Amino acid sequence: MKFQNNCVIGAPSQKLWDYLSVIPNVAMCLPGVEQVNALEDGKFVGIVALKVGMVKLRLTGNITIEFMDGERQAASMRVEAADQRISGMIQGKLTMSLEKLAPEETRLVVETDLNLFGKIGEFGQPMIKKKADQMMAEFSSNVAQRVGGNVGTAKAVVRPGSVLGLS
C-alpha cells in the first residue's frame, strides 16, 4: 500500500531540515508515539499506540535510517513493527523530502510504502489511508508549532501498491 502525503510549513527549509533530521524530534511530533530510543548509529527502537477503526494497536518495532542527505534535504528509513496482542505486523519504507517554495515556506513530502500482515492487514486500504491522513495532519501541525511556522493544507495522494512484499 503506497501513500504520499504533503503539506506546506511556514518555515525556512534549512530550519525545518535541522529539526526533522533528528529522530527524537520527529517522534515527538507523531501522534501515538510512546517512546523512541537510539540503539546504535542510525537504528532506533520504539513504541506507538494508535487506534485504527475500532481496534487499538500498540506497535513495538525498529526504525533503520537508510540514508539522510542534508544537501538534498531527503531521507529514507525502513520500519518494522508488530503488535503481539493481535498477531499483526507492519513493514515499510518511509521517505521524506523538503522543497523550498519561498524563503519562509517549505513543502514537506512523505512517501510511505507499507505492507500489513496478520490481523492488521485485514483493516483495508480505505481505513489505513484515513488514519495516515489524520496522522500526517497532526504531525505537520506539531512540526510547524515546534519550528515556529504555520502549516498549510495537508494533501494526501494514494497510489496502489503491493501489500504482499516490500518494493
Count of helices and strands (H, E) across the chain: 3, 8
Average pLDDT, whole number, for the chain? 83
Q: What is the mean pLDDT of residues 69-98?
A: 92
Higher pLDDT, 47 or 152: 47
For the chain, give the percent of residues with pLDDT over 70: 87
The residues with which 155 forms a beta bridge, in sequence order, are 6
Band of residue 165 on the pLDDT scale cut at 50, 70, 90: very low
The CA-based diameter of the chain, rounded to the nearest angstrom, is 47
For residue 140, give Cα distances in angstroms to 12, 18, 115.
14, 15, 23
Residue % of the chain over a pLDDT of 90: 43
For 91-135, the pLDDT digits (tens) are 999 999 999 999 999 999 999 898 888 877 777 667 777 888 888
Amino acid at 41: D
Confidence of residue 150 (pLDDT cuts 50, 70, 90): low
Closest-CA residue to 72 (of 102, 100, 41, 104): 100
Separation of alpha carbons 9 and 145, rounded Å: 10
Label residue 158 by pLDDT band (50, 70, 90). Answer: very low
Rounded to whole angstroms, how far apart are CA atoms 121 and 143?
A: 29
**Model confidence, pTM:** 0.79
Report CA torsion sign: 77, 139, 26, 68. positive
**Single-letter amino acid code for the residue at 124:** G
Asked if residues 154 and 133 have their Cβ atoms less than 8 Å apart, the reply is yes
